[in-house]
């Protein structure tokens, strides 16, 4: 890693921190830092406590979790399918996760929030398994992409069909299809507790294998790895984290696609730094998008899902043109 890139890792970390703090500062009411501090750490601080601790802080944590999941899944999928345009949305994983959620929501309108989380994770993981199964021969990255794309389109159509067919869930449908963090609460933020240990374990088990896979299947195998197995595990893992993201925010597009490229340009495409950078870039985009979504037409709000591209696209285009 060059000195330039170490500096960039630090810069990305800092920017993500700034985006997180900004997401606490801005909203219908603008707080200053001392008010935020009181809201976070002093239980009986009244209004600040109610808004920051009960609403903004869990929502920011949720936004960060969505961004981290999508950014990480995008980076891993781009490595494993050797396709720079892969992401959980394009490979159909988000849509399959969403389809299971839609089915559960239509069948059990009063489903508990955690049942929805289980539905999304099940959808993501089973969706990944389905894609791997149908594209049989996990040795063909291109086939996985094509099959995922087709299954995803099919699932999206089913979601829209289900939602429009059963009118009971209109509110759910709007937030879900456009993607956003409206109503994200501690119920969502607490998913970090599930996410973090899984990600740490998977990093320990898969990081070296993913590194070697990025050199090509033959070379990875000659280094003593099993490329097809690594690819299958990695894609199933992406199903899991994508499921968590979908359960919080619905279908947020663009983050999984853009984050790896932003990270690749800033911190290189090697090993842990790349995956971590992509995670941070995803967090930055979703936190930024959610903050804007709350501020632009305050006191009402836009779905953050439509703003991710507005935040991410200019950064991506700038970096790709500049080729750091």
Interface residues with another protein (CB under 8 A)?
1-2, 204-205, 207-208, 211-212, 214-216, 218-219, 221-226, 264, 268-272
Q: How far is the CB of 207 from another protein (least distance, A)?
A: 5
Q: How far is the CB of 232 from another protein (least distance, A)?
A: 17
Burial class of residue 148 in the structure, from the number of CB atoms within 10 Å of its CB (0-12 exposed, 13-18 middle, 19+ buried): buried
| Closer to another protein by Cβ: residue 215 or 317 | 215
**CB-based contacts of 1: which residues, under 8 Å, 6+ apart?**
267, 268, 270, 273
Q: How far is the CB of 201 from another protein (least distance, A)?
A: 10
| Closer to another protein by Cβ: residue 43 or 224 | 224
| Closer to another protein by Cβ: residue 46 or 216 | 216
Rg over alpha carbons for the chain, rounded to the nearest Å, is 19
| Closer to another protein by Cβ: residue 134 or 207 | 207
Distance, in Å, from the CA atom of 302 to the CA atom of 135, rounded to the nearest integer, reads 38
Cα–chain center distance at 139: 26
Q: How far is the CB of 204 from another protein (least distance, A)?
A: 6
| Closer to another protein by Cβ: residue 6 or 298 | 6
Count CA atoms within 13 Å of residue 1 on its CB side.
19
Distance, in Å, from the CA atom of 26 to the CA atom of 18, rounded to the nearest integer, reads 12
Sole residue written with tokens 């896979």: 213
Distance, in Å, from the CA atom of 79 to the CA atom of 182, rounded to the nearest integer, reads 32
| Closer to another protein by Cβ: residue 29 or 214 | 214
| Closer to another protein by Cβ: residue 33 or 219 | 219
Structural tokens at position 230: 């690594």
Sole residue written with tokens 């990944």: 128
Q: How far is the CB of 219 from another protein (least distance, A)?
A: 7
Q: How far is the CB of 101 from another protein (least distance, A)?
A: 34
Distance, in Å, from the CA atom of 121 to the CA atom of 114, rounded to the nearest integer, reads 11
- Residue 301, phi then psi, degrees to nearest 5: -145, 155
Q: Which helix (H) or strand (E) holds 157?
A: helix 141-165
Give the ranges where 214-324 is alpha helix by DSSP (H). Answer: 217-222, 227-249, 255-267, 271-295, 308-322
Q: How far is the CB of 80 from another protein (least distance, A)?
A: 15
Contact 308, 290 (CB under 8 A): no
Distance, in Å, from the CA atom of 82 to the CA atom of 84, rounded to the nearest integer, reads 7
Angle CA 195–158–85, to nearest 5: 55
Q: How far is the CB of 39 from another protein (least distance, A)?
A: 40
Q: How far is the CB of 308 from another protein (least distance, A)?
A: 25
Contact 251, 95 (CB under 8 A): yes
């Amino acid at each position: 890693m060059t000195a330039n890139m170490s500096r960039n890792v630090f810069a990305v970390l800092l920017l993500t921190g700034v985006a997180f703090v900004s997401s606490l500062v801005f909203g219908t009411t603008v707080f200053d830092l001392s008010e935020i501090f009181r809201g976070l750490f002093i239980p009986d601080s009244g209004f600040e406590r109610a808004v920051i601790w009960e609403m903004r802080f869990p929502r920011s944590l949720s936004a960060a979790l969505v961004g981290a999941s999508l950014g990480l899944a995008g980076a891993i999928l781009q490595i494993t399918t050797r396709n720079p345009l892969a992401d959980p949305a394009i490979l159909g994983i988000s849509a399959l996760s969403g389809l299971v959620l839609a089915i559960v929501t239509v069948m059990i309108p009063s489903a508990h929030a955690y049942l929805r989380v289980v539905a999304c994770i099940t959808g993501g993981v089973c969706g990944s398994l389905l894609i791997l199964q149908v594209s049989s021969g996990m040795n063909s990255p291109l086939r996985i992409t094509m099959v995922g794309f087709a299954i995803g389109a099919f699932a999206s159509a089913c979601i829209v069909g289900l939602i429009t067919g059963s009118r009971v869930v209109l509110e759910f449908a709007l937030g879900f299809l456009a993607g956003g963090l409206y109503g994200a609460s501690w119920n969502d933020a607490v998913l970090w507790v599930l996410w973090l240990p899984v990600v740490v374990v998977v990093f320990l088990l898969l990081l070296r294998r993913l590194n070697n896979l990025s050199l090509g299947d033959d070379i990875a195998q000659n280094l003593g790895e099993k490329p097809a197995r690594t690819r299958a595990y990695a894609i199933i893992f992406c199903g899991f984290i994508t499921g968590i993201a979908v359960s919080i925010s619905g279908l947020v597009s663009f983050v999984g696609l853009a984050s790896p490229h932003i990270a690749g340009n800033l911190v290189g495409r090697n090993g842990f730094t790349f995956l971590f950078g992509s995670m941070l870039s995803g967090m930055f985009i979703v936190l930024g998008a959610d903050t804007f979504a709350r501020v632009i037409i305050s006191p009402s709000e836009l779905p953050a899902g439509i703003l991710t591209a507005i935040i991410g696209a200019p950064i991506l285009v700038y970096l790709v043109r500049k080729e750091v």
